[in-house]
Structure 1
């Protein structure tokens, strides 16, 4: 993460949470949606997820039924055994991992089920889709631990 914008990004993100909240409410949505794919690509040209993996270390994706079927098949486990071994129901009634970090995260920050990972993981950090603007609470939380979300929000701030 050598881009100047990313220096001390965690501290800066914490300081700018109010700004981001306002930005997400007032930004020109159509213009921003059009620019998200390019901003997403730009962010990931400077950021390697394997350097960080904070998402996998501190949070859990939702494991939807299709994810559970696919992953348990891949692991050659019965779905019920997969659920009993790795998952619990959260307060929203979604399946999430029982433990943190994610049980599929390796010491090298790589995912042992990467090709079969939950759709939430594949889509994270949502910097190339409308979730970034439509779910501001998630975006604000993600900006506190994901440098890519911070980067994209900073770039959106410059567009306005």
Structure 2
């Protein structure tokens, strides 16, 4: 996958996607959560995250206190040592990676802490969330980073326009 081309396409369609997602928020269709889950499942049948890993290369997850406790324990480190080595506090006072790509991304795009990875990583790109219109800003950001999120919004838009 050409990630630079993907980014250009996603940015070109950003206004169209924002308009579509704003309409979803104004008047969510019946059974939206079911439709979201079905399209999410369809998209991920055709996309292999291990061939991309753009999220791990270009953006860092937010680390909750639970994440920090779980991961540091899994790495047999003190939480404070884990934070000092891998994290920083951003402008919103959130704990995030202190550098990119992610420290735990292997050369083959696998994750060295996959079983204990942060909640934000487990949920990314958040395209199977109930009441998806509550995270429109995040979905738009994710379409630029993640080919699956882009495909999800495209398919949702086509599906819901087709139903009219």
TM-score w.r.t. length of structure 1: 0.90
Q: 2:33–2:131: 8 Å Cα contact kept in structure 1?
A: no
In the TM superposition, what whole-angstrom CA distance separates every residue of 1:95-139 from its partner, at most 9, and x where no partner exists?
Answer: 001010000001111100000000000000000003742122211
Aligned-partner Cα distance in 2 for 1:57–1:130: 27
Equivalent residue number for residue 12 of structure 1: 9
> 3-state SS of the aligned residue for 1:125?
coil
Q: Residue 24 of structure 1: which of 13, 21, 26 is its match?
A: 21
The 2-side partners of 1:96 and 1:131 are apart by 26
Q: Are 2:107 and 1:107 equivalent residues in the alignment?
A: yes
In structure 1, runs of 5+ residues without a counterpart are: 2-7
Residue 56 of structure 1 corresponds to 56
Query: Is the CA contact (8 Å cut-off) linking 2:32 and 2:131 kept in structure 1?
Result: no
Instruction: Give TM-score scaled by structure 2 length.
Output: 0.88
Report the counterpart of residue 5 of structure 1 in structure 2: none
CA 1:131–1:61 in structure 2 vs 1: closer, same or farther (change >3 Å)? Answer: farther
Check the 8 A contact 1:61/1:120 in 2, yes or no.
yes
What is the match of residue 153 of structure 1? 153
Query: Could you tell me how far apart the structure 2 residues matched to 1:74 and 1:141 are?
Result: 31
Deviation at residue 49 of structure 1 after TM alignment: 0.4
Aligned to 1:69: 69
1:93 to partner: Cα distance? 0.6
Superposition RMSD in Å: 1.5
Q: CA deviation at 1:67?
A: 0.3
